[in-house]
């Protein structure tokens, strides 16, 4: 369950919270809706073709954000397992 939630939160931020972190389900819904909106702009509205430099910045920003979500999920599960975070 831990690794499923980590992977889900990397590729679909918020979804990992919905699946395995009950205390973050509400915020998970909002993050997931935001990600759907970003994806619609990034992929569905042709941002890459219209503004290639903006697309690169957005892609890098989303990658950093997704990495943060995956790390946060890992730390949550580590704390639940009773292991020190560091």
Nearest CA among 39, 41, 4, 34 for reference residue 20: 4
pTM for the predicted model, two decimal places: 0.83
CA dihedral 63, 77, 32, 42 (to 10 degrees): 10
- Structure tokens that stand for 14 in this block: 């918020």
Where are the domains positioned within the chain? 2-80
| Residue-wise pLDDT tens digits, 52-77 | 898 889 889 999 999 999 999 999 99
| Residue-wise pLDDT tens digits, 16-50 | 999 999 999 999 999 999 999 988 888 888 888 88
Provide the 3-class DSSP secondary structure of residue 51. Answer: coil
Which residues lie closer than 8 Å to 15 by C-beta, 6 or more apart?
Answer: 8, 9, 28, 32
């Amino acid at each position: 369950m831990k690794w499923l939630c980590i992977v889900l939160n990397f590729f679909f931020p918020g979804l990992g919270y919905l699946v395995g972190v009950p205390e973050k389900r509400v915020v998970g819904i909002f993050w997931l809706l935001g990600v759907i909106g970003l994806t619609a702009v990034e992929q569905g509205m042709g941002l890459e073709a219209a503004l290639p430099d903006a697309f690169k910045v957005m892609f890098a920003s989303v990658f950093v954000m997704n990495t943060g979500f995956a790390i946060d999920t890992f730390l949550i599960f580590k704390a639940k397992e009773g292991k020190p975070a560091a």
